Every structure is written in C-alpha cells, then in structure tokens.
Amino acid sequence: MQILESISFKLLVTYPVKEFMEEQSEEVYTRILRSIKLLRDGGPFLRPPDAKKIDRNLYELRIRGKESIRIFYTKTSEGYILLHAFKKKTQKIPRRELKLAVDRMR
C-alpha cells in the first residue's frame, strides 16, 4: 500500500499552556513537544497510554516520565485546542485542574 498524503491536524495552544511549557526544564519541554506532535499527527487515532477521553468533549494528553504531566484539550472541526496543563501528583484528576479546563473550553 502506498500512502499518498499524510493527515495533520491543526493545534491551537492557549497562552496558559504555552506559559506552563516555557516554565519546564529542557528535558520536560522536549517530552511535551513530542506528545503534542503525536496528537497533531495521530489526531483521533491517539489512544491510551498517550491520550484518554475525560468527558464528552474533553481529553487529556498524557506525558509520562519522572514527572507526569497532563494537558487537557478539546476537539474542534479543524483540529484541537490545548486548554490547560499541569503536573499530576496523584492517581485522580484534581477537581481544580478539571474545572480550569472546562471553564476555558466554554
């Protein structure tokens, strides 16, 4: 089979996510970029452990390593909007972080 064209999805990075990324070490920043590129290139085909559906229109990009990082995003007709990023320290998603993402989605 020959692939004639690859599909790539548009990404909108909100200022809070951009700011979060810039505060990270170079190693963590690189891991975040790698995961964002996976989302851009894989789109709706991205599955656990790289991405997970949280709610009807809310998903999380999962960046693993010494520190677990999560980026909440939503789908649009043209691509994805990265809403909120944080360092995950517990098994559960902190309500505060979830609320921030939902508020930014509106």
Rounded Cα gap, residues 80 and 28, in angstroms? 21
- pLDDT of 1: 46
Nearest of 80, 79, 77 to residue 60 by alpha carbon: 80
Domains and CATH numbers, the chain: 10-105 (3.30.2310.20)
User: Stretch 23-42: mean pLDDT, rounded?
Assistant: 93
Indicate if the pLDDT at residue 2 is higher than 70. Answer: no
Over residues 54-104, the pLDDT tens digits come to 998 999 999 998 889 999 999 988 889 999 999 999 889 989 999 999 999
Strand ranges across the sheet with 51-53: 10-13, 79-88, 68-75, 59-63, 51-53
- pLDDT of 8: 67
Instruction: Identify the three-state secondary structure at position 70.
Output: strand
Q: What is the pTM of this model?
A: 0.88
Identify the band that residue 7 occupies on the pLDDT scale cut at 50, 70 and 90.
Answer: low
Q: How many CB atoms lie within 10 A of CB 96?
A: 8
